[in-house]
């Protein structure tokens, strides 16, 4: 089957512009950028548009090109470009981060546990649910390795000003702590969203509690990952009242018994790491959930 062109723009950045995604997509598509003046036509090209970008897309819409509104990183309401295909995916951060971490060798990380602190709690933008979590853990902060970047608190040796800061991995943060306290981007169920925040402890051998959308632990189990009911009271995952959910998570942190991991925990950690970095699994999911839908949309009649 002849490969179609995916037309991107350097000025309209979206998920497909990242080199680790381009390297994967090139197996299935010809990746071209409009600024490089490639030769193409609407008979062999589909245009990928990150919502909120520039006016570069309008001439292609006027010429009836097939257009994709790419919102794989989106965590809220989506404005779909008229007549386009909306491309979004709950698991995108698993696929994207797995490809990136393998590209830079982070899949070779082997823990060297020191347990100097109780837990790792990276916070970035200020949000109500994060403020609630932070304020209820104030008396525990000396036991945590934590940040709240918008409040001027950084993790040691972080690269908060780098464009790749969301992908940044510092092994010492995970070696020095027993588990992760994850505060997801969103906690509402209207836009169920899982970011790199959740997938980092999965990738890097860390147990976790997650302040996220209702049922996020259940969802992770449904796609094959292990959670840590043997370490934490995971009933918070079913708690619809946000105030009570935060209280239950805080209680988990305060009640945690800091001991070296036992075999059950070690087996769960290894399982999650292996599944996250399973190249065949990630590639097959990308094909079924991203590649095939794009090709099918291209083949539909205008």
For the domain covering 98-279, report its CATH number.
Answer: 3.40.50
Q: Within the chain, how many helices (H) and strands (E) appear?
A: 11, 9
Using CA atoms, how far residue 217 sits from 92, 198, 222, in Å, is 17, 10, 9
At 163, the pLDDT band (50, 70, 90 cuts) reads low
Check whether 141 has a pLDDT greater than 70. yes
Instruction: State the average pLDDT for the chain.
Output: 93
* Inter-residue contact 50 to 70 (CB < 8 Å): yes
What is the average per-residue pLDDT within 152-164? 82
CA distance 83 to 270: 44
pLDDT at 13 (0 to 100): 84
Q: Which helix (H) or strand (E) holds 117?
A: strand 117-123
Q: What percent of the chain has pLDDT over 70?
A: 96
* Inter-residue contact 139 to 133 (CB < 8 Å): no
pTM over 0.85? The answer is yes
* Inter-residue contact 42 to 7 (CB < 8 Å): no
Strands 5-8 and 45-50 come out as parallel
Span 201-245, pLDDT tens digits: 999 999 999 999 999 999 999 999 999 999 999 999 999 999 999
At 190, the pLDDT band (50, 70, 90 cuts) reads confident
Span 40-92, pLDDT tens digits: 999 999 999 886 666 888 899 999 999 999 988 876 677 787 889 999 999 99
pLDDT at 1 (0 to 100): 61
At 167, the pLDDT band (50, 70, 90 cuts) reads confident
């Amino acid at each position: 089957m002849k490969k179609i062109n995916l037309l991107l723009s350097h000025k309209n950045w979206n998920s497909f512009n990242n080199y680790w995604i381009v390297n994967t997509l090139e197996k299935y598509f010809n990746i071209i950028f409009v600024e490089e003046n490639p030769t193409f036509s609407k008979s062999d090209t589909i245009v990928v548009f990150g919502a909120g970008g520039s006016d570069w897309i309008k001439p292609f819409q006027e010429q009836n090109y097939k257009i994709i509104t790419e919102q794989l990183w989106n965590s809220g309401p989506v404005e779909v470009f008229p007549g386009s295909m909306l491309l979004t995916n709950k698991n995108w951060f698993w696929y994207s981060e797995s490809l990136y971490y393998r590209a830079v060798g982070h899949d070779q990380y082997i823990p060297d546990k020191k347990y100097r602190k109780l837990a790792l709690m990276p916070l970035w933008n200020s949000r109500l649910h994060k403020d609630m979590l932070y304020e209820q853990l104030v008396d525990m902060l000396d036991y945590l390795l934590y940040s709240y970047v918008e409040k001027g608190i950084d993790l040691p040796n972080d690269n908060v000003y780098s464009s790749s800061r969301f992908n940044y991995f510092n092994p010492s943060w995970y070696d020095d702590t027993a588990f992760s306290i994850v505060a997801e981007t969103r906690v509402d169920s209207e836009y169920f969203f899982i970011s790199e925040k959740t997938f980092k402890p999965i990738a890097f051998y860390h147990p976790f509690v997650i302040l996220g959308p209702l049922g996020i632990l259940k969802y992770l189990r449904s796609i094959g990952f292990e959670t840590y009911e043997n370490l934490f009271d995971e009933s918070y995952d079913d708690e619809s009242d946000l105030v009570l959910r935060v209280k239950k998570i805080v209680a988990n942190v305060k009640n945690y018994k800091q001991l070296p991991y036992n075999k059950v925990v070690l087996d769960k950690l290894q399982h999650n790491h292996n599944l996250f970095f399973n190249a065949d699994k990630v590639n097959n999911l990308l094909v079924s959930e991203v590649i095939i839908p794009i090709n099918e949309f291209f083949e539909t009649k205008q």
